[in-house]
Amino acid sequence: MSYVTTKDGTQIYYKDWGTGKPVVFSHGWPLDADAWDPQMLFLLQHGWRVIAHDRRGHGRSSQPAEGNEMDTFADDLAAVIESLDLKGATLVGHSTGGGEVTRYVGRHGTKRVAKVVLIGAVPPLMLKTEANPGGLPIEVFDNIRAGVAANRSQFFKDLAVPFYGYNRPGAKISQGVIDSFWGIGMLGGIKSEYDCIKAFSETDFTEDLKKFNVPTLFIHGDDDQIVPIGASAAMASKLVKNSTLKVYAGESHGICTTQPDRVNADLLAFLED
């Protein structure tokens, strides 16, 4: 397997397929690079080079006790991009990975970046504060922490249901998707996954978004029960110049899995534009 070793000795697993223009994927919590299988296979078949890594503490990467916060996540992404000497890359981030990509732009700029896609992404800020009244109360994230700490196996089985909108009337439930979500989640380290809850919920990406200077596409389901659109993409897209917001009516947080054909078509059109 392929790894990049970061400055603090953490090994970041990545996969790198194809020889075309690079598209780099950052996954959501508590998943890993395999969450991007439908997008990576599709774009590879259409002539693009596709790269995805497992965030530290997730999937096949090392499980360090430290560094499980957005600045380090962004620097780990930079380590992958720089190790592969990628240029003119499109960065695609889902959920927590959208925060990782956003912080990468804030910290490292866009000298290696041509475009950005944020799907169901957490920016600008998930947590409810005086300055962000539309966010979610801290109790929501405290409950997630409690669930992970007490019995993360059961918690992940339960979380998969609203994650993919399987608790909605008429939903076509896939037990395979639920099992995959659970299996990938359990592959990660509990310390990293626990710390990551604070990272994705309490990090303010407002200033990072203001630094975007490349074409940016936001995709978000308006029935996202995990990252509600009103406090995320609806606000973030207004902070990014030259951005487009595509709203998937009635769709869930896990649209890359539940609506792969639609996401893939929108990605390809944006890449080829």
| Full pLDDT tens readout for the chain, 273 residues | 899 999 999 999 999 999 999 999 999 999 999 999 999 999 999 999 999 999 999 999 999 999 999 999 999 999 999 999 999 999 999 999 999 999 999 999 999 999 999 999 999 999 999 999 999 999 999 999 999 999 999 999 999 999 999 999 999 999 999 999 999 999 999 999 999 999 999 999 999 999 999 999 999 999 999 999 999 999 999 999 989 999 999 999 999 999 999 999 999 999 999
Element (H, E) at 5: strand 2-5
Give the fold, CATH level 3, of 2-272: Rossmann fold (3.40.50)
User: Can you give the residue ranges of every domain in the chain?
Assistant: 2-272
| Catalytic residue positions, numbered | 95, 224, 253
Residues recorded for the chain: 273
Structure tokens at 136: 């979610």
Sign of the alpha-carbon dihedral angle for 18, 20, 24, 28: negative
What confidence score (pLDDT) does residue 242 get?
Answer: 86
Q: Measuring CA to CA, which residue among 95, 135, 136 is closest to residue 118? A: 95
pLDDT value at position 1?
84
Q: Give helix 37-45 / helix 260-272 axis angle, nearest 10°.
A: 50
Q: Collapsing DSSP states into helix, strand and coil, what is residue 270?
A: helix
Q: CA–CA separation, 121 vs 162, rounded Å?
A: 16
Residue 15 is predicted with a pLDDT of 98
pTM of the predicted model as reported, rounded to 2 decimal places: 0.98
